[in-house]
Amino acid sequence: MMHSKELVAETISKQLGVGCERVRELLEVPPDEKLGDYAMPCFSFAKELKKAPPVIAQEFAQKLSSKDFSVEVSGPYLNIRLERQRLAKRVLTAAREENYGKGSQGERVMVEFSQPNTHKAFHAGHLRGTSMGEALARILSFAGWDVVRANYSGDTGMHVARWLWCYTRFHAGEQPPKQGRGAWLASIYVDAMRRLAEQPALQEEADKINLALDKGEDEELMALWRKTRQWSIDEFEAIYRELDTHFDIWIFEREVEARAREVAQELLAKGIAEKSDGAVIVNLEEEGLGVWVLLRQDGTPLYSAKDLALAEKKFTEHKIDRAIYVVGKDQELYFKQLFTTLKRWGFSQAERCFHLCFEMVRLPDGKMSSRTGKNILYTDVRDEVFAYTEEQIRARHADWPEEKIRETVHAVGVCALKFEMIVRDINKSIIFETKRVCDFEGDTGPYVQYTHARCNSILRKLGRAPDMRRAVFSSLSESEYRLVKELERFPSIISEVATSLEPAPLARYALALAKAFNTFYHECKVIGAEQGVEDARALLVDATRLVLARALTLLGIKAPKEM
């Protein structure tokens, strides 16, 4: 469906003989909705037409005629009012179609997100990246992109060496508990960091394990690594099932480690990298990006070399046009270094790499860190949210069967978690507060879900399908009209996300649509309204239900019919 702004721009362009793009850029929303839906200033035509803008506005108005809008002159402005009845029919017909808002972009993109490291906990920061990445992948796919979902986990390197060192020295033979496996894994890493802080000389032992891991020749060590690595993977997979998140490919650092060393040597041979005190580095000081270390002095590869090998794998094996990395803002410099090095290496796709960065989820006393143990474990946040949600659901529906309560608690709890991670400004940290994110009346996911459930309830009480042929839109109230215009925005929001590569606009749109609907619902009687009006309003309810459900699904969130 063509958006009303586009329809107005095309009509004005044809009737006035002015370029459509020029008209589109001139059209603006007036500061007061009483002035109309759009306004077009005529100042820019004064020089070429050698006339005053108010005169031009009068002449333009006389030439314009459309069934879809009317034009009024206000000094140098054309004020444009859409024909509400025609717009309502057009929007409500389109919004109730299965492919409303679906696009056809056609690019092949890899969205890499989540990236938890084995031998460490899945924390609330991972939840933010996972929620954003899952939503972005779904929205881009809906927009027509060929999306490859990728997870990249650090299953080797110094953090693993430290964990294995601590486990073999102080926790040998311990098995992860059936409940709280993630917290147990994290506790050993925290214990390792505590002991190393107290006795820095012990780091030499961890260094030896790291070197042995890199060589992969110590069978006993490698067997322990494989077993403990699987404990982490099992925990991650359980969390992804809970969050309704899936990946097309899951790459581990170990897979690119050997190639990482080769890449470093290739860059040395090409003069892109250089030796410095025994380490291999890329000097990016010309670009103001400092020095990027690829190999340590002992020859073991760092994240940097592995990410270069991973990028090569993405571009050559998976044939992607664009790579999106959903990773925390603290890695901003790192990704600038990565993309610049890729460009020097000769990958044209480097220009089309994008770092979707975000601030972290914080404790009241500061940033999370699994090094110090002051991190917010995902499972702790989840348990608190689910417990609070269960209280609310049981208070509202004491008569529901247990299975229905469990399903609803899960759907609403996951929604509260994920929506909060997606909707907030990516440049601001989230201070996670359970009661706030679970509020059925706040700027939250459960509020959007509750609005969707309310739409379903109204239609159940109506007891029939609303009929467009009987609907009367001739006297739309302001709240009805605002809801129509909000519904019309959905396709443009999908396009906005596909351009900005950030999913937050869709979450904010879902909130705006829910608010517009609730204003309409409180002001306009649906069931029992006069003939024709009942159908018109029921169509608004049905369209809102469908668009909210679609928006929630694209955000990776379920839309319960009852709450």
Q: pTM above the 0.85 mark? A: yes
Cα angle: 70, vertex 90, 144; to 5 degrees: 120
CA distance 367 to 360: 7
Taking only the tens place, the pLDDT of each residue in 413-427 is 999 999 999 999 999
Residue 209: exposure state from Cβ atoms within 10 A (0-12, 13-18, ≥19)? buried
The HSE-up count of residue 18 (CA atoms within 13 Å, CB side) is 24
Domains plus CATH for the chain?
4-82 (3.30.1360.70), 113-362 (3.40.50.620), 378-554 (1.10.730.10)
- What is the full DSSP assignment across 51-108? S-HHHHHHHHHHH---SSEEEEEETTEEEEEE-HHHHHHHHHHHHTSTTTT------E
Cα separation, 151 vs 251, whole angstroms: 6
What's phi and psi for 32, nearest 5 deg?
A: -120, 125
Phi then psi for residue 469, to 5 deg, are -65, -25
List the chain pLDDT tens, one digit each, 563 residues: 899 999 999 999 999 999 999 999 999 999 999 999 999 999 999 999 999 999 999 999 999 999 999 999 999 999 999 999 999 999 999 999 999 999 987 799 999 999 999 999 899 999 999 999 999 999 999 999 999 999 999 999 999 999 999 999 999 999 999 888 999 999 999 999 999 999 999 999 999 999 999 899 999 999 999 999 999 999 999 999 999 999 999 999 999 999 999 999 999 999 999 999 999 999 999 999 999 999 999 899 999 999 999 999 999 999 999 999 999 999 999 999 999 999 999 999 999 999 999 998 986 666 555 554 567 899 999 999 999 999 999 999 999 999 999 999 999 999 999 999 999 999 999 999 999 999 999 999 999 999 999 999 999 999 999 999 999 999 999 999 999 999 999 999 999 999 999 999 999 999 999 999 999 999 999 999 998 999 999 999 999 999 999 999 999 999 999 99
pLDDT digits (tens, 9 = 90+) for 483-523: 999 999 999 999 999 999 999 999 999 999 999 999 999 99
DSSP E strands: which ranges in 296-423? 322-328, 353-358, 361-362
Three-state SS at 293 = strand
d(CA 343, CA 428): 30
